[in-house]
Structure 1
Amino acid sequence: MKKLFRKSIRGAALLLAAVVFPVLMSAFNPERNSNNSSKINTFNWEELSKKDQQFLDKVQRKAFDYFWEGFDPVTGLIADNAKGRRTSIAHSGFGLSAFCIGVDRGWVSRQEAYDRVLITLNSYYKNPDNENDFCVEGKYGLFYHFINVDTGKRQGRTEVSTIDSALLMAGILHVMAYFEGTEVEELAKKIYQNAQWDKYLNRRNAITGGWKPAEENWTNPEYKGYNEYSLVYLVALGSPTHPIPDISWDAYNSGNGAEWLKPYKDIGAFKTPKGVMQPHAYLYQFPTCWYDLRNKKDKYANHWEVAVNALKANRRYTQNWGSMVGYSEELWGWTACAGQRGYIGFSRPYNGTLAPSAVIASLPFLPEESLCSIIFMYEIYGDKIFGKYGFVDSFNPSQDWYDDGYIGIDKGNEVLMIENFRSEGVWKVFMRNPYVAEGMKKAMFSDI
């Protein structure tokens, strides 16, 4: 396939749309149903046709534009969904990394990105010599999940969030290394070193979900099941000022139970929604937007392999569900995303809603399957799901529903993971940060 890849996809997609769209495409490309994982894992950017490269470049650029055009020039914050003045602090983390990618892609100058990064960082740092200095609200150096773009104040009844603060800190660690030897590096260090992760531990030395002032207590004493909290632990372990103890990594892994450590015997048998293995793609993608876990393992597992198998299961599960309502097997992508009746998170069973970002961000894990699906979605649904900032957050063909909006964390997931697929750019810079290396060391990761 290789250079003929796009041509075969386009032709089959158009034929399918015109004649047999409801029929499953089990014969669409037999190679994609192969269990030859070594072949899949070596499929890379250089093997794509020029047309495919240009297509992914367009998808990535539009996702980047979400952050660049949504940037507030005063506070450096980025609106949550391109429709209002609420934002998640996680968007700042993705945005900081996106700005670095924009420089590497030649979309913006290094100075332009640097200036914006500096504005953003200043909003997360309280100058002790200026009591009126603007600073995003938080507690113990971590920040409220949702804040107002203009004021930096807590929005609604949201919590001080450990996971969203970690997503922010991942972006901060990235720019710290990217703009080494500058004011950005120094300011990034101050913000990172101010974070008191040890204040958010429970009695098991596991990290809690966060803190709410009204209750004066911790939220979600501990998340269980393999999840994005691996990012929180790795970021917190690397802190030079307020680290969590090394045994916290053990508390996290043992708290999940042993089941997630076992390789899938049948990747189609996803134990969801109450099983130990959670279905949503972002749980495996968010940590690896920054942390390069390829060819590494700790004493518990090869975490990259866990993610690959989980995403295979995600694909198989949604394909099996879709076969009951006439979906093509090229349609997959289950993650937390916008839904017809509001945001779809953990608690709801799968209802056929598809998130393009879940597939796009799977490119480093399942490049061939992901690219097939992305192109198929684009060719079949076109403007229904592709607009100013690229793919919309979600759609549900079984309900003839198509979202018209975008969400920052999903756009960020796309920008970073396309870059890691095409150049390993985020991984290369992020992993050279000594605080990142320290966190990996304390979690006892080693090369395979």
Structure 2
Amino acid sequence: MRFFSAVILVSFLLACSNAKKVPATQTVFASKEDEAIFTDVQRATFQYFWDGAEPTSGLARERFHVDNIYPQNDKNVVTSGGGGFGVMAILVGIERGFISRDEGRQRLEKIVQFLETADRFHGAWPHWWNGETGKVKPFSRYDDGGDLVETSFMIQGLLCVRQYFQNGSATEKTLATRIDKLWKEVEFDWYRNGKNALYWHWSPNHAWRMNFAVDGYNECLIMYVLAAASPTHAVPAEVYHEGWAKNGKINELPAGFEDIKLSMNHHNKEGAAGPLFWAHYSYLGLDPRGLKDKYADYWKHNTGHTLIHYRWCVNNLNGYKGYGPDSWGLTSSYSMKGYAGHAPTKDRDLGVISPTAALSSFPYTPKESMAAMKNWYTNKKDKLFGVYGFYDAFSETENWYLPRYLAIDQGPAVVMMENYRSGLLWNLFMSCPEIKDGLKKLGFESPHLAK
């Protein structure tokens, strides 16, 4: 049983819908050593969002480079999506005792103050800001306005914070109320652009020029769930079924590998699976356990997606050095020549392992994720592990080890490791009454909806 971390997932999904119960999560580690490594990795990764945060806004920096080979000149750039993962990480820090409840609340108050005053566009935040001024920093030439996907990642995190503090002290209740106001100000209906779909971007300078109507399947499910659930700017169910699910075409040419068959298409005519962050970002708060609609069983889909990545790396068709059952996981991350969307296909597998892929998959593949984490921590720590946990990516084939971090990769690791450990963020997000209403509106089933 070495490398095993036993998780007890008690799920009572009974045939009678009124008897359904929320799956209980209680992780029992195989050894004290496993638990100590797990906690140390969680603690160090959390520090990216604590000690490593941009000091004026309190938000996560887009990136942080430990090396000085190329001096980093954008340490003031903060990110809405990665920042949303970061506010969830702060809740983990409180629960794990890395910081006190008051310390966490005070940092979250600073973040909310920034979000209240920083640039917004019909309630949606941009992908990037200058953390010192709150002014938008264009992500690309025409992307200088609202980013509804990244905003949704932030809202997912903020709703967890709201639920965490809403029954606390008077000061905590005030924080929860301020977050509720930010949530209600996001104009999801505006981002329809008059269509039965949600558009990723809108700019006051370039309007809808990006012209990116978001359909599935990818990392954006949470945006459609929030849009349906909004108490002030909701969209009808047709937007989900016609825009996201493409009137059922989401199930055509589904992804798969060997005997693993998924239910949804990953934007690939050959049926290949996408990068592994697609199984993480929307599910930091949205609990996939028992989550189903007419298009997918999301626990089965995400677990299958993860196992495809695991098997791909174990089979190692490209013959890269270091791949195996204790070193696996492909996702969008740094690469030898900049940022790349690594995925389990011959052309998109560049020999780069991204630790966040396996770490953020703990709920789906606890045995396989533990094996990778223990190998990296025990045998390669000097090359892979720094002040904020495992570095973003590495390649044994190229002898490439870059001591750099990205917020969008560190955040899911902290949060999904905690969801594996206790279900903390899943239970907080799914306790939101408007989220339950939105899921019902879209035709979802979930054990949480019976509560």
TM-score, with normalisation over the residues of structure 2?
A: 0.83
Aligned with residue 253 of structure 1, among 241, 245, 250:
245
What's the CA shift for 1:124? Answer: 1.3
Deviates more, 1:240-249 or 1:327-336: 327-336
* Counterpart for residue 50 of structure 2: 68
Aligned residue type for 1:301? A
* Counterpart for residue 355 of structure 1: 354
Aligned residue type for 2:89? A
What's the CA shift for 1:361? Answer: 0.5
* Counterpart for residue 137 of structure 1: 119
Tell whether 2:157 aligns with 1:175. Answer: no
* Counterpart for residue 267 of structure 1: 260
Work out the CA distance in 2 between the residues paired with 1:74 and 1:370.
36
* Counterpart for residue 398 of structure 2: 399
What's the CA shift for 1:277? Answer: 5.2
What's the CA shift for 1:178? Answer: 0.5
The verdict on how the C-alpha distance between 1:447 and 1:194 changes in structure 2, with shifts beyond 3 A counting, is closer
**Percent identity for Structure 1 against Structure 2:** 29
Tell whether 2:309 aligns with 1:314. Answer: yes
What's the CA shift for 1:266? Answer: 2.5
Work out the CA distance in 1 between the residues paired with 2:135 and 2:179.
21
Aligned with residue 200 of structure 2, among 203, 209, 233:
209
Question: 1:383-422 residue pairs with structure 2 within 5 A?
Answer: 383-422=382-421
Work out the CA distance in 2 between the residues paired with 1:445 and 1:324.
42
Work out the CA distance in 2 between the residues paired with 1:204 and 1:398.
47
Work out the CA distance in 2 between the residues paired with 1:165 and 1:277.
28
Question: 1:116-265 residue pairs with structure 2 within 5 A?
Answer: 116-125=107-116, 135-158=117-140, 159=143, 160-181=146-167, 182-202=173-193, 204-251=195-242, 252-254=244-246, 257-259=250-252
The verdict on how the C-alpha distance between 1:365 and 1:382 changes in structure 2, with shifts beyond 3 A counting, is same
* Counterpart for residue 443 of structure 1: 442
What's the CA shift for 1:267? Answer: 3.0
Q: How far does the alpha carbon of each residue in 1:279-299 deviate from its partner, in whole angstroms, 9 at most, with x for none?
A: 201011111111112012112
Work out the CA distance in 2 between the residues paired with 1:241 and 1:272.
32
* Counterpart for residue 19 of structure 2: none
Work out the CA distance in 2 between the residues paired with 1:91 and 1:43.
26
Contact 1:268 1:317 in 2 (8 A): no
What's the CA shift for 1:443? Answer: 1.9
Aligned residue type for 1:139? F
Contact 1:264 1:309 in 2 (8 A): no
Contact 1:225 1:278 in 2 (8 A): no
What's the CA shift for 1:374? Answer: 1.6
Q: State the secondary structure of the residue aligned to 1:445.
A: coil
Deviates more, 1:299-308 or 1:164-173: 299-308
Tell whether 2:81 aligns with 1:82. Answer: no
Work out the CA distance in 2 between the residues paired with 1:228 and 1:318.
22
* Counterpart for residue 103 of structure 2: 112
Number of corresponding residues? 404
What's the CA shift for 1:195? Answer: 0.1
Contact 1:173 1:188 in 2 (8 A): yes
Question: 1:422-441 residue pairs with structure 2 within 5 A?
Answer: 422-441=421-440
What's the CA shift for 1:215? Answer: 2.5
What's the CA shift for 1:301? Answer: 1.4
Contact 1:88 1:146 in 2 (8 A): yes
Tell whether 2:293 aligns with 1:301. Answer: no
Work out the CA distance in 1 between the residues paired with 2:123 and 2:24.
41
Aligned residue type for 1:60? Q
Aligned residue type for 1:433? C
* Counterpart for residue 282 of structure 2: 287
The verdict on how the C-alpha distance between 1:376 and 1:259 changes in structure 2, with shifts beyond 3 A counting, is farther
Tell whether 2:42 aligns with 1:53. Answer: no
Deviates more, 1:170-179 or 1:86-95: 86-95
* Counterpart for residue 128 of structure 1: none
More helix by share: 1
RMSD: 2.6
What's the CA shift for 1:425? Answer: 1.0
Q: How far does the alpha carbon of each residue in 1:101-157 deviate from its partner, in whole angstroms, 9 at most, with x for none?
A: 1111111111111111111111112xxxxxxxxx22121000110111111111135
Work out the CA distance in 2 between the residues paired with 1:106 and 1:378.
22
Deviates more, 1:381-390 or 1:338-347: 338-347
Tell whether 2:339 aligns with 1:343. Answer: yes
Q: State the secondary structure of the residue aligned to 2:107.
A: helix
Gap runs ≥5 in structure 1: 10-40, 126-134
Contact 1:226 1:277 in 2 (8 A): no
Contact 1:59 1:390 in 2 (8 A): yes
Q: State the secondary structure of the residue aligned to 2:245.
A: helix
Work out the CA distance in 2 between the residues paired with 1:337 and 1:275.
23
Tell whether 2:331 aligns with 1:332. Answer: no
What's the CA shift for 1:265? Answer: 6.1
The verdict on how the C-alpha distance between 1:55 and 1:103 changes in structure 2, with shifts beyond 3 A counting, is same
What's the CA shift for 1:273? Answer: 6.0
Deviates more, 1:335-344 or 1:149-158: 149-158
What's the CA shift for 1:221? Answer: 2.5
Deviates more, 1:340-349 or 1:283-292: 340-349
